[in-house]
Amino acid sequence: MATGKEFPSGGTGDNTVIGPSILISGKLSGDEDLTVRGRVEGELSLSKTLIVEPSGIVKANVAVKNAIVSGVVVGNIAATESVELTQEGRMVGDIRAPRVIIVDGASFRGRVDMGDAAPRAEGEKRPAAVRPTLKTTLARPPAKPLPPGKPAVAARKDDEKPAPPPPPAPVLVGEGGKKKVVIKKKK
């Protein structure tokens, strides 16, 4: 299987496997789990779980209970429970499900619709946003005091080149959060 996660099937545990050399084109529907190692094109409708393994390719609009994508899906997925894109998973299309998991390393291009938010009761206010405390990820030692009579900034002669710009400011990251920073060098 593509992942160690298993969903309760609620039945006899039936699972159909489409092997790596199989191509199915057309409308496919069923009431059991389906594992795709080969290729499926067209329309796919299941009352249980679709597992697309790393060798699997699905070019279809999909309606399922759960979907675990470790291969390639080109098309929309509508799930009644969850959709998971694993690290090897690639998808181009829209996802509609109440629970969506996109693991770091997965490739996804499309939109995600997790349903409508529950309406607030009359007079109920939106909860205040909790702002994380900030910490610096780059520690600098404290500055040493200057000896008396020494200027803080050296005088520059007119024929000298200007000093290089200061190093980039430390990156501020929220407590427990991560932020990717890319610094480009100018030529």
Report helix, strand or coil for 35. strand
pLDDT band at 169 (very low <50, low <70, confident <90, very high): low
DSSP annotation of 121 reads P
How many CB atoms within 10 Å of residue 82? 19
SS3 label, residue 97: coil
* Residues facing residue 66 across a β-bridge: 49, 82
Cβ-Cβ contacts under 8 Å for 68 (sequence gap 6 or more)? 2, 3, 5, 49, 50, 51, 52, 84, 86
Band the pLDDT of 115: cuts 50, 70, 90.
Answer: confident
Token pair for residue 66?
């759960």
Say how far residue 42 (Cα) sits from the centre of its chain. 26
Q: Which of 133, 113, 146, 121 is nearest to 174 (CA)?
A: 133
- pLDDT (tens digit, 9 = 90+) per residue, 126-154? 666 555 555 545 555 556 666 666 555 55
Share of the chain above pLDDT 90, in %: 53
Distances (CA, A) of 164 to 114, 159, 160, 161, 168: 49, 15, 12, 9, 12
Q: Which of 96, 91, 108 is nearest to 52 (CA)?
A: 91
Question: What are the pLDDT digits (tens) for 45-101?
Answer: 999 999 999 999 999 999 999 999 999 999 999 999 999 999 999 999 999 999 999
pLDDT given at position 1 = 39
Nearest-angstrom CA–CA distance, 57 and 20 = 9
Give percent above pLDDT 70 in the chain. 56
Question: Which structure tokens are listed for 169?
Answer: 């400011």
Cα(112)–Cα(166) distance, integer angstroms: 41
State the number of CA atoms in the 13 A half-sphere of 138 facing the CB. 7
